[in-house]
Structure 1
Amino acid sequence: MASSSPRGSHLLTEGPIGRTMISFALPIMAGNAAQSLNGSINSIWVGRYLGEAALTATANANNIMFFLIGSMFGIGMAATILIGQAIGARDTERARKIMGTSATFFISLSAVIACLGWFMTDKVLRAMGTPAPALPLAEQYLQVIFLSMPFIYAFAFISAALRGAGDSRTPFRFLLMSVALDIVLNPLLIFGWGPVPAFGIAGSAMSTFFAQGLSLAAMLLHLRRKRHVLWLGRKDAHLLKIDLSVLRALIVKGVPMGLQMVLISLAMIAMISLVNAHGTTTAAGYGAALQLWTYVQMPAMAIGAACSSIAAQSVGAGRWDRVGATARTGTLFNFLMTGALIAPLILFDRYTLALFLPEGSASFEIARHLNHIAVWSFLFFGVTFVISGVVRATGAVIPPLLILGFALWGIRVPFATLLQPVIGMDALWWSFPVSALCSMLMSMAYYRWGGWRRARMMAAPERVAAPVATQSIAMPAEVPAQPPAPVADMSPEQQSRGPGPRDLDDELSEKAPG
């Protein structure tokens, strides 16, 4: 069996899981923090120097951009899992075919969005109720953002594909390049300097256009120079032809994962509406807490993404023992890393919240009170994110969507709405840990007793059964449920890997694929 990984990829099916997970998750978490910091810096330039109307314009336009990016999140995750399973099975031919179909789909879709968006910007902004003073500014900004969408989509897709191949560092390096360019170009293009004219608010969007475009070009050149397994050159043009089985998997499995982001966004809008009903003071306190929560949830999201990639490669390699270990390790790291952020935010909240609220603000104590109640929900949220990442790696995408939907819309929003007459405004804050705890318990129950191990991302290719090293994508349904063989009857490789595919708390019982 070949032990080397496909060119440019990193096998996540070997070595200590804890070390692998941390080294994979840290670049993702750092990248998320860098993007958040970049957004804050850009808002400072626009808000402080171009005025409130300009800041309102970018806020309205960015809502549309984030929706478009979030709507593609699921399909990007599907590509990550498909490529991860192929890399885990060391089936480079299949990984490259998935890469080609996904690239054609993403690029084509982004081009359509860019064209439609350019001509429909005004209608979209008016439909959102953008204030009249901000409308012309928002249109200038959003039209350039739409032109940037092919770069944004391509960069996000290639980053997802590389993570599926086990590489989170390369996307992080070029993401840092994009953030640095954006930070430098933003004031230059807004205000002008020397031969560079002042573009005003359009300059802020142009900085995104150039930063994304240049970073994407640099990443593609890097992949070409390294002759990465996922690099498709002119000789690989035939791989760009759409494979209908791959496309179907991207859509059928990706849309439910994308809907999770939609459910989260809609639930946040519903909660903000409930908070706004209590006045500006309460809304400001809630807004300050949200700023902190943006950073608190980053470890869970990064660990969840790492678990998904590790589990996907493990499924492809038939390493079900490693899938269970990934869930256990991810859960432990979530508690350690998320808890390490929550503790100082509670202990030193007078200083952290003061970053967002002026001295003597009536919102300050409200923010402290709600933060003490609600911030703990991210410990439970992290477990759900980890377990969802693991089970989705097999292709089980509907149950996590249903669990999240029920937790948000069957528990959180009704709890916050119906219990306000009973316990007052605290119903809003307690709805967060209550719904997060229920979501965690439902996810754990599905992990323990659900049929996610029998799920598939797509139909397995028709080929003669072969050792794991040359097999296409080892699916659980292809492995008969058998009692573990005596150690004496095992090959040296089997002895080193253990008696059989065992998961968290002996899950592979009668429900094991067979």
Structure 2
Amino acid sequence: MSESFFSVVDQLADIFWAGRIGFKAIAGLGIAQTYILMLMTARMGLDAGMRSMVARAIGARDIRYANHVVIQSITITFVWSLVVGGSGMIYADPLLRLIGIDEEVVALTSGYLKMQFLAMSLLSFQRLFGGALQAAGDSITPLKAITVSRVIHLSLTPFLIFGWWMFPSMGLAGAGVANVIAQIFAIALNLHALMSGRTDIKLKLSDYRIDMNLIWRILKVGIPAGITGMQRSLSQWALLFFVVTFGTGPAAAFALSRRAENIVNHASRGLGRASGTLAAQNLGAQLIGRAKSSMNWAIVYCSVLSLLAMIVFIGFPENVAKLFSDEAEFVSHTTVWILIMGLCAFPMSSVQVFTQGIASTGDTVAPMVITLTTMWAIEVPVAIALAFMTPLDSVGIAVGIGIGNLVRCVVFFIYVFSGKWLRPGIL
């Protein structure tokens, strides 16, 4: 959960410093982060496949199989990073123009997006190694790694953006460069722990061989989870096309509200992954009751997080907006978006717990079906209809997102308490 929280702090810090440049920089940064988040959530789905298989193997005490799964996941990650990260760096400018933003915003954001694609490739390895450690029961080392990397990122960012002290002035691209440097340190810490044998998993280069059958099994579990994770960011990307038609102010409000929402959502994803890992270990050991209990407690903790978010976002929406920019157009739009987000905090965060938790046990198809149907049959159409067929204008998109999450939350509750995801044994 702490790892997920730090990821959001990073995004908000980038937006904070972008606000010192102007609200157009906030809009551009939000669009760039939407692309990165869309790909990273898809990548996290593949990690969920690996994590569920490792956790179940650990629970069944099949350590050799757990190690083999991690080694094959490295091959998948290498191909992913090369294809997706490389393509993103080459086509960063066309991707920004695809949304319909003006050339000034493209110029501000281009270097940042290119560096973030490179950082995303490195982050894929960092999360792969960290997820393997967590599945083996070591959650401290990944936390140390992410803490070190985030401190480096947060410290370097303003120096590289504005050219403080002896550093070059790189504009928004400086935030991306800081992230690249930070990810290298995180990878080194997690990889050292995996190769030292501190947990049941111990990587050895001499054990490496490509096992296409196992790679396919990992993908078979992970691809549905990847599709599920991608839908949220993909829907935000789709809705951006409509938000930008109302102007740069609403686009900036959309960007900040999505990042602020992720403070709660990322923490909830962390709760979901943690509870799902525990559930997977217990299912591997044939302990179904304990597996179900871990999910129940995750929802209890999620409720507490949601309450805290509601207090801040409903009680002080204008103050939150002014933290990033005091330009009137930005503040007026963002205040309303943040208020609506606060009202929807519990449905949004509980959906993340269920999605990540169920997927981490190896049941990745049900979350995919629930997310796809509620996202594209309800959330996106309702948001567009409210924006263009009612006086709500751009605010209608925020309301539509909230309605979609409420429906999705109800469906997930029904599925979780049906117990259909509690399938014991090794995958």
- Same-fold status (TM-score > 0.5): yes
Aligned match of 2:7: 35
**Structure 2 letter corresponding to 1:431:** G
Aligned match of 1:347: 315
Asked whether the 8 Å contact 2:115–2:173 carries over to 1, the reply is yes
Q: 1:443 is paired with a residue of what secondary structure?
A: helix
Q: Give the drift of 1:130.
A: 7.0
1:85 counterpart = 2:56: yes
Distance 1:161 1:337, change over 3 A: same
Asked whether the 8 Å contact 2:51–2:360 carries over to 1, the reply is no
Q: 1:167 is paired with a residue of what secondary structure?
A: coil
Tell me: higher relative CO, structure 1 or 2? Use CA pairs within 8 A at least 6 residues apart.
Answer: 2
Distance 1:33 1:387, change over 3 A: closer
Aligned pairs for 1:266-415 (under 5 A) are 266-277=234-245, 289-356=257-324, 358=326, 361=328, 371-415=338-382
Q: Give the drift of 1:180.
A: 1.6
Q: TM-score, normalised by structure 1?
A: 0.70
**Structure 1 letter corresponding to 2:347:** F
Aligned pairs for 1:11-22 (under 5 A) are none
Distance 1:241 1:198, change over 3 A: same
Asked whether the 8 Å contact 1:80–1:160 carries over to 2, the reply is yes
Aligned match of 1:438: 407
Distance 1:334 1:206, change over 3 A: closer
Q: Specify the structure having the higher radius of gyration (Cα).
A: 1
Q: Matches of 2:147 and 2:49 in 1, distance apart? A: 24
Distance 1:187 1:365, change over 3 A: closer
**Structure 1 letter corresponding to 2:204:** G
Asked whether the 8 Å contact 1:315–1:393 carries over to 2, the reply is no
Q: 1:231 is paired with a residue of what secondary structure?
A: coil
**Structure 1 letter corresponding to 2:413:** M
Of 211, 235, 246, which aligns to 1:243? 211
Q: TM-score, normalised by structure 2?
A: 0.83
**Structure 2 letter corresponding to 1:440:** C
Of 66, 69, 73, which aligns to 2:40? 69
Q: Give the drift of 1:255.
A: 1.5
**Structure 1 letter corresponding to 2:412:** S
Asked whether the 8 Å contact 1:299–1:338 carries over to 2, the reply is no
Over aligned residues, Cα RMSD in angstroms? 3.6
Distance 1:53 1:331, change over 3 A: closer
Asked whether the 8 Å contact 2:28–2:108 carries over to 1, the reply is yes
Q: Give the drift of 1:382.
A: 3.0
Q: Give the drift of 1:74.
A: 0.8
Instruction: Point out the more displaced range, 185-194 or 316-325.
Output: 185-194
Asked whether the 8 Å contact 1:353–1:367 carries over to 2, the reply is yes
Asked whether the 8 Å contact 2:55–2:135 carries over to 1, the reply is yes
Q: Give the drift of 1:334.
A: 1.6
Instruction: Point out the more displaced range, 394-403 or 442-451.
Output: 442-451
Asked whether the 8 Å contact 1:288–1:357 carries over to 2, the reply is no
Q: 1:154 is paired with a residue of what secondary structure?
A: helix
Aligned match of 1:207: 178
**Structure 2 letter corresponding to 1:400:** P
Distance 1:474 1:34, change over 3 A: closer
Asked whether the 8 Å contact 1:380–1:437 carries over to 2, the reply is yes
Distance 1:268 1:67, change over 3 A: closer
Asked whether the 8 Å contact 1:377–1:433 carries over to 2, the reply is yes
Q: 1:72 is paired with a residue of what secondary structure?
A: helix
Q: Matches of 1:168 and 1:411 in 2, distance apart? A: 37
Asked whether the 8 Å contact 1:285–1:366 carries over to 2, the reply is yes
Asked whether the 8 Å contact 2:272–2:356 carries over to 1, the reply is yes
Q: Matches of 2:104 and 2:251 in 1, distance apart? A: 24
1:167 counterpart = 2:132: no
Q: Matches of 2:257 and 2:116 in 1, distance apart? A: 29
Aligned match of 1:261: 229
Deviations 1:227-285 (A, max 9, x none): 43323134xx22x2122332112212212111123221232234444555555665565
Asked whether the 8 Å contact 1:380–1:440 carries over to 2, the reply is yes
Distance 1:429 1:62, change over 3 A: closer
Distance 1:438 1:253, change over 3 A: same
**Structure 1 letter corresponding to 2:123:** I
Distance 1:250 1:92, change over 3 A: same
Distance 1:168 1:39, change over 3 A: same
Deviations 1:277-334 (A, max 9, x none): 5556655655554453232334422221222111111111111011221222222222
Aligned match of 2:201: 230
Asked whether the 8 Å contact 1:383–1:440 carries over to 2, the reply is yes
Distance 1:440 1:152, change over 3 A: closer
Q: Give the drift of 1:214.
A: 2.5
Asked whether the 8 Å contact 1:87–1:313 carries over to 2, the reply is yes
Q: Matches of 1:410 and 1:144 in 2, distance apart? A: 35
**Structure 2 letter corresponding to 1:220:** L
Q: Give the drift of 1:37.
A: 2.8
Distance 1:390 1:221, change over 3 A: closer
Asked whether the 8 Å contact 1:78–1:253 carries over to 2, the reply is yes
Distance 1:33 1:423, change over 3 A: same
**Structure 2 letter corresponding to 1:452:** W
Identity of aligned residues (%): 23
Deviations 1:200-251 (A, max 9, x none): 66554333222211332233234444543323134xx22x212233211221
Q: Give the drift of 1:419.
A: 5.2
| Unmatched runs of 5 consecutive residues or more in structure 1 | 1-27, 457-472, 476-514
**Structure 2 letter corresponding to 1:303:** L
Distance 1:249 1:127, change over 3 A: same
Asked whether the 8 Å contact 2:157–2:175 carries over to 1, the reply is yes
Q: Matches of 2:25 and 2:89 in 1, distance apart? A: 19
Q: Give the drift of 1:86.
A: 1.0
| Unmatched runs of 5 consecutive residues or more in structure 2 | none
Q: Matches of 1:370 and 1:133 in 2, distance apart? A: 25
